[in-house]
Structure 1
Amino acid sequence: MSGIVLSASVRQNLLSLQSTADLLATTQNRLSTGKSVNSALDNPTNFFTAQSLDNRASDINNLLDGIANGVQVLQAANTGLTSLQKLIDSAKSIANQALQTTVGYSTKSNVSTTISGATAADLRGTTSFASATASSNVLYDGAAGGTTAASGTTTLGATQGAVTGNTVTAADGSTALSGAITLLGTTAASKLSTSPADGDTLTVNGKTITFRAGAAPASTAVPSGSGVSGNLVTDGSGNTTIYLGTNAAPGATVGDVLTAIDLASGVKTSTITNGAATIGVASAATPSSVSAGGAVTLESSKGADLSVTGNADFLNELGLTSATGGGNATVTATRTTSSASLGSLLQDGSSLNVDGHVITFKNAPVPGSSNAPAVPSGYGVSGNVLTDGNGNSTVYLQTGTISDVLKAIDFATGVQTFTLNGSGGGTLATAVGQAPSTINSSGQLKLSTGINADLSITGTGNALSVLGLAGNTGAATAFTAARTSGIGGIAGKTLTFTSFNGGTAVNVTFGDGTNGTVKTLDQLNNALQANNLAATIDANGLLTITASNDYASSTIGSTAAGGAIGGTLTSALTFSTASTPVQDAVAQTARANLVSQYNNILNQIDTTSQDSSFNGVNLLNGDQLKLVFDETGKSSLNITGVTYNSKGLGLAALTVGVDFIDNAASNRVLTSLNAASSTLRSEASSLGSNLSVVQIRQDFNKNLINVLQTGSSNLTLADTNVEAANSQALSTRQSIAVSALSLANTSQQSVLQLLR
């Protein structure tokens, strides 16, 4: 072919056509493969870099299967832990059933001794008591200076207080006020200018006086328990209704108002019989009155100050206040003390509670006295004291004395007795071997405690402070004093128990309950509780020390349990030999069944831990798991398995007759179960942490593979838009080259035509 001679134009067009064909072939290859670099000849750098990236992505992708298997291994272990926790909870339920089951012993180990005369309140074996004497603060009478000692005759009441109003007149303005002046009426000379309206009231020392229109009812029409006297209806307790009558037939008078006030204050008394009230003046009392000049004088009683509250216009009408108007005003009259009375006066209604008995102080004359109500049925009067014969009394302030108070206290403590005779009287006697309470020359009350109980006095009102019973610690809330007691042989003796089943050793000394000594059963039990022991005492003084329910199977003083008894008390009293506990067959059978159930749970724990595997790897049976996260093997995670069968969790099979036999044995099992439960929770937390790490690395590797593959593609992939355009351009170029080659050939053919 070397002999063939082509023209320059043909040769040039032919070369151009060959170049276009080569380029077109390259472009078509790129379009068909989608890559711009298909071999190292295309672009050595991009080709080998992309190949390296693809190789790494492939290596990492090969690791994903192992990581996925690792996740499942961890999931299997976590599922096993969850099941083991449920089994542990079931075992706890069985142990708790053992705690709630009847104690497995009908009789627990105990030691006992008899203390003559001992009670739960006093274990010392007190056999007798003597009355002691307690002293009050000094009491003074009302003599000037306030330093004169009171005596037994010093009265509780005082000199009556009085308040005298202004001189006033009747409605005519010239007739002097008198007790006969009516509250209503038609004649100005015989009535008040301002009178109360129906329903108006006066309040006198807490009692109520009510004004009513119309005439007083007949004795047959008054409420039960009340009585009528003239224009007054009274309930016998100081509450009174005053009937005003009418203008045409006036009823109530100023004298009636003063009588009602005196009934409320205690200056006057009423005795009610078949609906009729007989009103009299209390002993040695001065009633309220109206002077000849028309001035009203209100008197307090001896037992209480006077306080009258009512309509200001009405009290002004009586000359008792300068206040006017429809509102209320108050008028008072205060008692005065003297050498015959206490310097401090008792308040009406105050009380003392003495050893559970109540002494009440009342502003009234003594029942059965002159102009006073009769003695109530079931009560008796001794001096100025009304008593029920059982230690509850009322001391009457108007004529009562210090001696009466002491008598009432002695009734409450049993130092003195008053045997009722059924007619309002009785027989006063002093208990054998005791002395009544007195007041000494210095003015101190000398209170006998009696032998029935230690003296305890509390009060209401001002009774405690007035009588100098401001508390033995000055708290002014109570006064106490102990009897003199004849102590049994264990006072000062010490009882000891060595540590019983790991409890706190006991070392108690019997005494009065102070300074760390033990007196009561409660105090002894407080000391024994920490040593797993308890004490009881019966009516015969039999003191029994018993093992607690938790250690019902243990014998007190045994080598295994401890709790040996000793101390100086054992030399004064003889304790029995510690008894051995007696099993309750029914209860022990129930506990034995629980042991069997518990052991079945342990078997399930063993099989569950063995079955918690995946693909031959069991992290709960001691296997190890290694996971590789990168192609070099430098990034990895080693997870060491645990052995969580029953033995690995610290749980051992129980033995019938040894375990669950008492609460302590059950609690030991519960302790082990709680520890196992904590272990499982800790391991679950660790597995969860590892699973999180593995899942994070799994996601990381997936994302990294995508990054590597994307990088590889960026280096080798062709831009199909560009290549398609190139293909079109090269096709056009090829067509043009063919045409040019044809033109070149045509010129040569023209020369051939000339040669012809």
Structure 2
Amino acid sequence: MSSGITLSSATRQNLLSLQDTSSLTATTQNRLATGLKVSSALDSPVNFFTAQNLSNRSTDLGGLLDGISNGVQAIQAANQGITSIQKLIDSAKSTANQALSTQITTTGTAGTAYATTSSATSVKLYVNGQATTASIASNSTIDGAVSALNTAAGSTMFSKDTSGTKIVLNASAAVEFATTAGQTALGFTAGTGTDTADKYGSGNTAASGSANLTISGVETRKKLAEQYNSLLTQITQLAKDSSFNGTNLISNGDATNKLHIAFNEKDTSNLDVQGQDLTADGLSLTSITGNSGTSVNGQGNFLLDDDIKGTLTKLTSGSDTLRTASSTFGSNLSVVQNRQSFSKNLINVLDTGAANLTNADLNLEAANSQALSTRQSLGISALSLANQAQQSILQLLR
């Protein structure tokens, strides 16, 4: 036969109540300890998996934020490079304008009186590097020689002195002789030293300068051309240094040079920032050399005003290109920063949504804990009262 302990109905009811209270107390204490009302799928499958999906997307977007942040910095590095390049171009403009304002002159008076020759004489000159030949007729007077020289030069740069016997040169240009014979034919002292071979293009040798003539401005413009070339080198170097984390948006305009920024976890929302070539070559800025220009004629080093004006035009075009690039990058930066802010806010929304589904209300759970503690005390008291009847019987047995 089976045997067991028989409890009264009241005692059993109080025991069940205490067991329920103990179970609720354990649940409440777990929530207070973890801060979660749903800590596993057993607590609430719908809330648990929904919160998990929200948290996973928040984590994915958080990972993308690093890429977005790098994109912001790469664009800002490019923009900083553009700003600095613009300053260098402004310096180059100043240098070119300084060269343009530097006057080139050739002045001097022949050392000896002009001597009439019995045969025709040809005097080859270079006026700012442009070759021209004056044909002086036989038995020509000094007036005839001056006239022939001015006709060849295209301006009245030759004249005679107050004595009427010596030729005077006063030109707003660099005037050089092809040969020392041409110098002496006009009464100028022959230049000494080595002739400059192919100074103004192939086959155009210039004689050394005559002691009677002074050419000014040419060397100054040459030094300014060297300064200009140095600025172009700095522009290229600065463009190549404007990188962030290996990304440079202003040193290469190749179609493959793109900054790809993903805005969502599936990359269905993104932005491609196309790189541009803002080096000196990319801005179509060419160095000034001794043989620059449309042809290899030696008229470089800022010798000609027209070449300097052409350089200034290129610099202005380069500035326009920089402004356009800056506007483009600025627009892209605005988009990326806006998406960065949006992603941060969306992550906060997702995390808050997940928390609302799983987090416990600690104030409520604390109140529940106090109430359950009181209920447990009352349950124990009720159980004690339910057992008093049996204790009375025990007294009779004694």
TM-score (norm 2): 0.68
- Equivalent of residue 669 in structure 1, options 308, 311, 316: 311
CA contact (8 A) 1:37 1:46 kept: yes
Partner of 2:10: 9
> What amino acid maps onto 1:730 in structure 2?
L
Partner of 1:750: 392
Q: Distance in 1 between matches of 2:155 and 2:265?
A: 72
Partner of 1:204: none
Partner of 2:282: 648
| Larger displacement relative to structure 2 (89-98 or 24-33) | 24-33
Partner of 1:363: none
CA contact (8 A) 1:24 1:727 kept: yes
Corresponding position: 1:607 with 2:248: no
Corresponding position: 1:624 with 2:266: no
Rg comparison, structure with higher value: 1
Deviations 1:452-492 (A, max 9, x none): xxxxxxxxxxxxxxxxxxxxxxxxxxxxxxxxxxxxxxxxx
CA contact (8 A) 1:104 1:661 kept: no
Shift of 1:99: 1.1
Shift of 1:613: 0.8
> What amino acid maps onto 2:395 in structure 1?
Q
Q: Distance in 2 between matches of 1:608 and 1:45?
A: 57
> What is the SS of the residue equivalent to 2:13?
helix
Q: Distance in 2 between matches of 1:617 and 1:85?
A: 21
1:549-564 to 2 correspondence within 5 Å? Answer: none
How large is the RMSD of aligned CA atoms in angstroms?
A: 3.1
> What amino acid maps onto 1:624 in structure 2?
K
Q: Which structure has greater helix proportion?
A: 2
Shift of 1:535: 8.8
- Equivalent of residue 222 in structure 2, options 583, 587, 592: 592
Corresponding position: 1:29 with 2:30: yes
> What amino acid maps onto 2:250 in structure 1?
L
- Equivalent of residue 634 in structure 1, options 231, 250, 268: 268
Identity among equivalent positions (%) equals: 54
- Equivalent of residue 730 in structure 1, options 372, 378, 383: 372
Shift of 1:706: 1.2
Q: Distance in 1 between matches of 2:155 and 2:36?
A: 94
CA contact (8 A) 2:104 2:215 kept: no
Partner of 1:680: 322
Partner of 2:87: 86
Q: Distance in 2 between matches of 1:535 and 1:629?
A: 72
Deviations 1:173-197 (A, max 9, x none): xxxxxxxxxxxxxxxxxxxxxxxxx
Deviations 1:608-634 (A, max 9, x none): 111111111111122431111112221
> What amino acid maps onto 1:598 in structure 2?
Y
Shift of 1:682: 0.9
1:487-566 to 2 correspondence within 5 Å? Answer: none
Higher relative contact order (CA 8 A, sep 6+): 2
Corresponding position: 1:689 with 2:331: yes
Q: Distance in 2 between matches of 1:604 and 1:658?
A: 25
- Equivalent of residue 342 in structure 2, options 677, 700, 717: 700
Flag the 1:2–1:669 CA change in 2: closer, same or farther, 3 A: farther
Shift of 1:82: 1.1
Deviations 1:617-654 (A, max 9, x none): 11112243111111222111111212222111111111
Q: Which runs of 5+ in 2 are unaligned?
A: 108-126, 135-153, 160-170, 176-205, 291-297
Q: Distance in 1 between matches of 2:64 and 2:106?
A: 65
Flag the 1:626–1:719 CA change in 2: closer, same or farther, 3 A: same
> What amino acid maps onto 1:639 in structure 2?
V
1:30-69 to 2 correspondence within 5 Å? Answer: 30-69=31-70
CA contact (8 A) 2:77 2:244 kept: yes
Deviations 1:322-356 (A, max 9, x none): xxxxxxxxxxxxxxxxxxxxxxxxxxxxxxxxxxx
1:229-378 to 2 correspondence within 5 Å? Answer: none
Deviations 1:381-431 (A, max 9, x none): xxxxxxxxxxxxxxxxxxxxxxxxxxxxxxxxxxxxxxxxxxxxxxxxxxx
> What is the SS of the residue equivalent to 1:638?
strand
> What amino acid maps onto 1:658 in structure 2?
Q
Flag the 1:684–1:104 CA change in 2: closer, same or farther, 3 A: farther
> What is the SS of the residue equivalent to 1:639?
strand
> What amino acid maps onto 1:87 in structure 2?
L
Shift of 1:104: 5.9
- Equivalent of residue 299 in structure 2, options 658, 662, 671: 658
Flag the 1:669–1:104 CA change in 2: closer, same or farther, 3 A: farther
Shift of 1:87: 1.1
> What is the SS of the residue equivalent to 1:625?
strand
CA contact (8 A) 1:92 1:670 kept: yes
Deviations 1:473-517 (A, max 9, x none): xxxxxxxxxxxxxxxxxxxxxxxxxxxxxxxxxxxxxxxxxxxxx
Partner of 1:299: none
1:443-522 to 2 correspondence within 5 Å? Answer: none
Q: Distance in 2 between matches of 1:698 and 1:674?
A: 36
Partner of 1:131: none
Q: Distance in 2 between matches of 1:755 and 1:636?
A: 89
> What is the SS of the residue equivalent to 1:654?
coil
> What is the SS of the residue equivalent to 2:289?
coil
Flag the 1:44–1:658 CA change in 2: closer, same or farther, 3 A: same
Shift of 1:11: 1.6
Q: Distance in 2 between matches of 1:58 and 1:97?
A: 59
Corresponding position: 1:720 with 2:362: yes
Shift of 1:2: 6.8
Shift of 1:586: 2.8
CA contact (8 A) 1:103 1:662 kept: no
Q: Distance in 1 between matches of 2:371 and 2:323?
A: 73
TM-score (norm 1): 0.37
> What is the SS of the residue equivalent to 1:39?
coil
1:22-171 to 2 correspondence within 5 Å? Answer: 22-103=23-104
> What is the SS of the residue equivalent to 2:250?
coil
Q: Distance in 2 between matches of 1:644 and 1:654?
A: 19
> What is the SS of the residue equivalent to 1:653?
coil
CA contact (8 A) 2:174 2:215 kept: no
> What amino acid maps onto 1:711 in structure 2?
G
Shift of 1:712: 1.6
Q: Distance in 2 between matches of 1:64 and 1:674?
A: 39
Q: Distance in 1 between matches of 2:390 and 2:105?
A: 131
Shift of 1:718: 2.2
Q: Distance in 1 between matches of 2:285 and 2:374?
A: 89
Q: Distance in 2 between matches of 1:12 and 1:91?
A: 98
